[in-house]
Amino acid sequence: MTTIDDPLLAARGPEPVDPEAEITLAFENNRHASLVFGLYDQNLAKIERRLRVASFANGNHVTLKGKSEACEHARRVLEALYERVAMGQTITLGDVDGAIEESARQRSLFPDSEPSRGAFEQILTRKRGSVRARNAAQDQYLRALKRYELVFAEGPAGTGKTWLAVGHAVQLMEQGAVERLILSRPAVEAGERLGFLPGDMRDKVDPYLRPIYDALHDFMDARMVERGMQTGLIEVAPLAFMRGRTLTRSCILLDEAQNASSMQMKMFLTRLGEGSRMIVTGDPSQTDLPPGQKSGLSEAVNLLANLDVVGRVRFSEGDVVRHDLVRQIVGAYERAARANKQTRDP
């Protein structure tokens, strides 16, 4: 027989054990339920792995088994996904991850009450519809884009810095908040010497700006993008072409800003005109500048750190929203970089 010597423990009794719980959900629409569960129940499998619950789907019913808190979390996620499907939105594995993060955030903000919907910020465009932040860092980023005229976003690839910035810029133009989109990148090769490229000016700069074109086509119809570029509503240009201009009533995005020199960055930041918004994104760990040349992104962030009218958001490897393997790859490189730094600076 076990005895309890501590009188406080004896008065309180044994530690409670989180019981196994079982929750059954029944959705009204079979087709919507199948979209929530995913092809071959892949969305349910993602929830099982992330929340450590077991799920059993049958038609429009799903039964969740596991720890009570985990089952409640999974219930909130499935109900949130069902609401999105009912509104005509598509569900991807990334959206499942985002719903899990959002539900956890809502519960931490409202522990004693039913969480309010839409805790994470979203952007809305005609083609893409509603795009919601998938983690706390993206939520902070979208809030900063709405609040500040100048926003710096730093972090590894795959965190959505450029994609969300382009989506926000398209939303501003469609709402009439700005009249033009100006999207720019430094024309710097990533570790390779490409030599002289054939064709006219657009043919020469297109390879450097292709990621921005891809993001534009995600948020706008191809014919609208082409028409916007022909009429000047959308301008995609290398950073060097910004000199001497004052950009008013525009949303200006500088991508891959870690490859801008100090002089280029100062030139770019001083282009900001009345009624404009400026977004600067980059990954300081992937600078392709010549050895010994300082990155304009890092310098600008440090110089403007004390200005409360400038927004700054930092992403980490945990905020990667691409394939799970990408998150692990980024994490491995980050750990190696930290280890090398500790070796150099004991």
228 found inside a domain? yes
Q: Can you give the pLDDT at residue 149?
A: 95
Q: Are residues 157 and 214 in the same domain?
A: yes
Claim to verify: residue 208 and residue 95 sit in the same structural domain: no
Give 243-293 pLDDT, tens digit per residue. Answer: 888 889 999 999 999 999 999 999 999 999 999 999 999 998 888 888 888
Residue 206 is predicted with a pLDDT of: 67
Between 340 and 24, residue with greater pLDDT:
24
Summarised one tens digit per residue, pLDDT across range 310-339 is 999 999 888 887 666 777 787 788 788 778
For the chain, the helix, strand and coil percentages under 3-state DSSP, each to the nearest 5? 50, 20, 35
pLDDT at 225 over 80: yes
- Closest residue by Cα to residue 132 from 306, 321, 308: 321
Please indicate, yes or no, whether residues 53 and 147 belong to a single structural domain of this protein.
no
Clarify whether residues 221 and 115 are in a common domain: no
Q: 140 and 109, same structural domain?
A: no
pLDDT tens-digit map of 61-118: 999 999 989 899 999 999 989 988 888 888 888 888 888 888 887 665 444 444 444 4
User: Is residue 1 pLDDT above 50, yes or no?
Assistant: no
Say whether both 282 and 309 belong to one domain: yes
Number of independent structural domains in the chain: 2
Domain check: are 281 and 209 in the same one? yes
Q: Please, which pLDDT band fits residue 7 given cuts at 50, 70 and 90?
A: very low
Q: 63 lies in a domain?
A: yes
Q: Are residues 161 and 242 in the same domain?
A: yes
270 and 143: one domain? yes
The pTM (predicted TM-score) of the whole model is: 0.74
Cα–Cα dist 19/12, whole Å: 19
Q: Are residues 140 and 115 in the same domain?
A: no
174 shares its domain with 97: no
Query: Could you list the residue range(s) of the whole structural domain that residue 322 is in?
Result: 136-344
Q: Are 259 and 188 in contact (CB under 8 A)?
A: yes
- List C-alpha distances in Å: 18 to 15, 22, 48, 52, 69: 10, 13, 18, 14, 8
Report which secondary-structure segment, H or E, holds 116: none
C-alpha distances (whole Å) from 127 to each of 46, 50, 157, 223, 335 are 27, 31, 25, 12, 39
40 shares a domain with 177 = no
Which CATH number goes with the domain that contains 155? 3.40.50.300
| 303 found inside a domain | yes
Residue 199 pLDDT greater than 70, yes or no: no
